[in-house]
């Protein structure tokens, strides 16, 4: 379940823009970078959904890492291998419905940070599920093009109406 959850969060994050007023030069630079990082996130999501290991090899930095719930930290090679050779017990998703919570994109020179909180609902192996996650994607511009440097997702604990917290 870990990879599709992360990717759906990225799709949501790519659909939102959170930039304030800037000078024309700043706006142009941010606008171009904003478009490029959104395109990268969409391409990354599509590669994961389609299990396109060739695209992932192009999109991920050499030092890429992924941190997902219930899984060890994955290196670039381990992450890509999950799509080339999925384990026999891998969760197979029938459908998923995404409801956006919030998303922000921030730029720091040649680094971009996308954060999002979102809910995921659907079925996995015929069983209904729902989860709220917080996801972060770090993009890095290397040799003139954006690549995914790191991804991290974590579950937000479910609370009940009777909870005093």
pLDDT at res. 68? 87
72 within domain boundaries? yes
The H or E element spanning position 118 is strand 111-124
The domain tally of the chain equals: 1
pLDDT digits (tens, 9 = 90+) for 88-133: 766 665 544 445 556 788 999 999 998 877 777 666 677 777 778 8
112 within domain boundaries? yes
162 within domain boundaries? no
Is the pTM for the entire model greater than 0.75? no
84 close to 90: Cβ distance less than 8 angstroms: no
160 within domain boundaries? no
Q: What is the CATH number of the domain that holds 52?
A: 3.10.450.50
164 within domain boundaries? no
d(CA 103, CA 124): 25
57 within domain boundaries? yes
pLDDT digits (tens, 9 = 90+) for 47-69: 877 788 999 999 999 999 999 88
Cα dihedral angle (96, 36, 60, 7), rounded to 10 degrees?
Answer: -10
165 within domain boundaries? no
pLDDT digits (tens, 9 = 90+) for 79-88: 999 888 887 7
128 within domain boundaries? yes
Q: In which domain, by residue range, is 124 found?
A: 2-155
Pairs from 120-123 (Cβ < 8 Å, separation ≥ 24): 120/5, 120/8, 120/96, 121/96, 121/97, 122/93, 122/94, 122/95, 122/96, 122/97, 123/93, 123/94, 123/95
């Amino acid at each position: 379940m870990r990879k599709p959850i992360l990717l759906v969060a990225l799709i949501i994050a790519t659909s939102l823009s959170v930039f304030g007023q800037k000078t024309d030069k700043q706006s142009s630079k941010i606008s171009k970078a904003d478009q490029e990082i959104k395109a990268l996130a969409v391409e990354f999501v599509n590669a994961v959904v389609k299990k396109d290991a060739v695209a992932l090899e192009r999109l991920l930095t050499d030092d890429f890492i992924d941190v997902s719930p219930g899984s060890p930290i994955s290196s670039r090679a381990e992450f890509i291998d999950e799509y080339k050779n999925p384990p026999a017990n891998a969760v197979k998703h029938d459908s998923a419905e995404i409801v956006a919570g919030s998303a922000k994109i921030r730029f720091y020179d040649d680094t971009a940070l996308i954060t999002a909180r979102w809910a995921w609902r659907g079925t996995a192996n015929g069983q209904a599920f729902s989860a709220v996650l917080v996801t972060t994607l770090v993009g890095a511009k290397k040799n003139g093009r954006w690549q995914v440097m790191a991804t991290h997702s974590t579950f937000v604990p479910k609370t009940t109406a009777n909870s005093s917290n």
